[in-house]
Amino acid sequence: MFQPLTKSDLGKTWEDARVYLRPTCFVDRPHELDESALRIADTMVWFAAWHVSLRDNDMVKSAIIPVCELDDWIAAMPDRLAETARVQRAGVTRPRGNLQLGERTIRLGEPQLMGILNVTPDSFSDGGKHVDAAAAAEAGFAMGAAGAAIIDVGGESTRPGAPLVWEGDEIKRIEGVVAALAKGGVAVSIDTRKAAVMEAALAAGARIVNDISALRYDDRAMDVVVQAGCPVVLMHAPSAKSDPHEGGTYSHVLFEVYDMLAERVTTCVAAGIDRTKIIVDPGLGFGKGVGENLTLVNGLALFHTLGCPILFGASRKRMIGALDNEAPADQRLGGTVALHYQAAAHGAQLLRVHDIAENRQALRVWRGLRDAALTA
C-alpha cells in the first residue's frame, strides 16, 4: 500500500528500505524557472520535481518535492539511502552522449527509432512477412529510408507460447539479412538471447546486442558482449528461461522491474561492459498485465536514474488491443504512436517500432512543439 512520505520519516529506522527518485512535473519552458528545473541527461526534457519513494517490502511511502529541496531530503536520510539517492540523481542528469555504431553516430539528444525486422514465421504481429532474406533486407533498407536509425533483426519469436528455436536455425534466418544491411551502411541490432547467434550476427556486421533476458539466458552471452565491446540492451523479463513471460507476479511492478535492471547493470559493469554502452528496456508486455504495463509507462522516467539510455517498445502490443475493444495487432497504430509519444515526453532515447513513417512524423511534431516552447 502507498502512504504519504514526510521528511521526518526519513530519520526513522528503515533497515531494508530502498529509495527511488523519479523525475516528474515536466515543464515546457525551463528557462522561466531559473534553477528550479533539471534536464534529463542531454534530452529535450526538463522537470521541476522529484517523486521520492521509500519502499520497505510491501509498504511504500511517497512524496513529490521541488527539485531545489532534494538536498535537504537527502540530508535527512540514513547514509545508505542518502548515497543511493545521490547516485540516482546523478544518473538522471548525466549526459548520455552518442551511440557510435561503426561509422554511424546515433545522437541521443532526441528520440531515435529502432525498426523491428522479424525474420520469423510466427512473430505476433509480422510473422512470415520477411522470411525471404532478400525481401527482409529490402524491408530493412526501406525502414532506414523512412527514418529508422537502427534496424533490429530477430530470428526467434518471443510471443507468449512461442516454441524455442534451435540456434542453428536462428543463425540461418538472420545471418544473410544482417550482412546485407550492414554492407549497405545500416546500423544493425541483433535481437537474440543466444550467444552463438550473437557471435554470428556480430561477425556479419551487427553493432548492438538486444537481449530480452538481459544476458541471463545463455551463460556465454556476457562473455560475447564483453569481448565484442558492443552496446547491449538489457531488457526486463520475469524469467530467463525458455518462456520469458513465465512468473510475472509483482507487488510493486515499477520498483521490481527497476531493481532487476539495476542489478543487471551492476553485474554487467562488474563483468567488464562499459556502462556507457548499456541500454535498459523495462520490457513492456513481457510477463506483465495491462495495469502493470500502464504503470511502467507512467513511471518510465524512474529508469533514467540508472544513468543509461532507455529503449521503449510498445509497438502493436496486446495492451493496446486490451484498451481498444481487442483491436488486432494490425490495427494498433494509433495506440502505438500514443504510447511512444508519451515515452518521448518522459525522455526515452530509443523507440522500437514496426511503423517507421508514422512514428517518425509524431516525433517530428513533438520536436517542433519542444523547439517552439524553448524559443518562444
SS3 category, 338: helix
Q: What's the DSSP call for residue 7? A: G
Contact between 314 and 300 under an 8 Å Cβ cutoff? The reply is no
Instruction: Answer yes or no: 86 catalytic.
Output: no
Assigned C-alpha cell, 162: 512461442
Contact between 236 and 247 under an 8 Å Cβ cutoff? The reply is no
CA distance 151 to 343: 19
Contact between 150 and 188 under an 8 Å Cβ cutoff? The reply is yes
Residue identified by cell 512520505 is 5
Instruction: Answer yes or no: 352 catalytic.
Output: yes
CA distance 148 to 162: 27
Assigned C-alpha cell, 10: 526519513
Strands 38-39 and 46-56 turn out to be: antiparallel
Contact between 312 and 323 under an 8 Å Cβ cutoff? The reply is no
Give every CB contact of residue 88 below 8 A, 6+ residues apart in sequence.
Answer: 19, 20, 21, 305
Give every CB contact of residue 189 below 8 A, 6+ residues apart in sequence.
Answer: 114, 150, 151, 152, 153, 206, 207, 208, 209, 210, 233
Contact between 27 and 40 under an 8 Å Cβ cutoff? The reply is no
Q: Which residues of 338-367 are buried (b: 16+ CB within 10 A; e: fewer)?
A: ebbbebbbbbbbbbbbbbbebbbebbeebe
SS3 category, 233: strand
Give every CB contact of residue 36 below 8 A, 6+ residues apart in sequence.
Answer: 48, 66, 67, 68
At 202, phi and psi to the nearest 5? Answer: -65, -40
- Counted residue by residue, the chain has a size of 376
Q: Which of 173, 193, 352, 370 is catalytic?
A: 352
Q: Which of 89, 317, 332, 370 is catalytic?
A: 317
Catalytic residues, by residue number, are 317, 352
